[in-house]
Amino acid sequence: MYYFLFLVVVLTPVSASGFFRAKTCLTASEHLERLSANARSNTVECLDDTVGKALYWKTNILTYKLHSRGLSRFPGEEGRLRVIDEIRRSFEPWMGTDCGSVRFQFDGLTTSFGHKKNRINWIGFYDEEVWPYSTQVVAVTTLTTLTGDNAIIDADIEINSRDNVIGFDGAASDYDLRNLLTHEIGHFIGLDHSGVFDATMELQTDPGQIKKRDLDPDDVAGLCEIFPADFVSVQDDGCCSTLPAKKHGTGWVLFAFLAIIAIRRRV
């Protein structure tokens, strides 16, 4: 059986409150805390006296693949290289801190499309395919764990370029790809939305926005809690957790972040 958790953007001004980790569940008091910080989460409420565990990676070297079709607005090999470069630049702020230790590596192109529970971290654009979420949602990051575990084993980023114009230069009518992806990568590493105004992990976005390309000190604090400088990778049956592993009978749990909503469509 699969379990789905949808963390939906709340389109309200945010106040200084600090970063939040993505967790397996939230207590009632945690829900209230996030609500009061305007960083509301739709994470399932913990049952009985259960306390949710923060999601985490067992390794700080994470790979990702891009769907081979790229973004149709930028066709051909030149367009694909430009898309790859913009994606690479989106990961750079998360690797450019003194206190953090995460590293991302581009692992090439794949013809496989869409979110899959295959331990391959995937980025792709929905140009022609039917977007499986609300058309107001611009991007979704889905984290996968095994049932009963809080270690992330798969992260997929899906971008709704079918219903939105994705660009590179912060044009007023476009959703800037680096602005969009830098936020999504925060979810990729295990951060929820932040209550700090102007933080990269703040809920709110607009076409033309580019402020999320660079990290706020609050984002850096969240990153360095998850991937501190002295981070030690944990080995699982002799291989890193990001590699294909033996079959488990416990099933999967998916944490899907409906992460960026087109604000102007809600007006």
State residue 258's pLDDT score: 59
State residue 36's pLDDT score: 86
Report how far residue 61's alpha carbon sits from residue 183's, in angstroms, rounded to the nearest whole number. Answer: 19
State residue 57's pLDDT score: 98
Copy the structure tokens of residue 266: 């809600």
Q: Which of 82, 163, 157 is nearest to 128 (CA)?
A: 163
Copy the structure tokens of residue 30: 């945690």
Low pLDDT (below 50) residues in the chain:
1-16, 237-249, 262-267
For tokens 């809080």, name the residue. 150
Report how far residue 177's alpha carbon sits from residue 185's, in angstroms, rounded to the nearest whole number. Answer: 12
* Cα separations in angstroms, 74 against 51, 78, 141, 196: 46, 8, 23, 34
The residues, any chain, with a CB within 8 Å of residue 72's CB and separated by 6 or more, are: 125, 127, 128, 161
State residue 148's pLDDT score: 85
State residue 236's pLDDT score: 60
State residue 229's pLDDT score: 96
**Total residue count of the chain as it appears in this document:** 267
State residue 252's pLDDT score: 78
Give residue 243's identity as a one-letter amino acid code: L
**Topology given in CATH for the domain delimited by 4-265:** Collagenase (Catalytic Domain) (3.40.390)
* SS3 of residue 56 by DSSP: strand
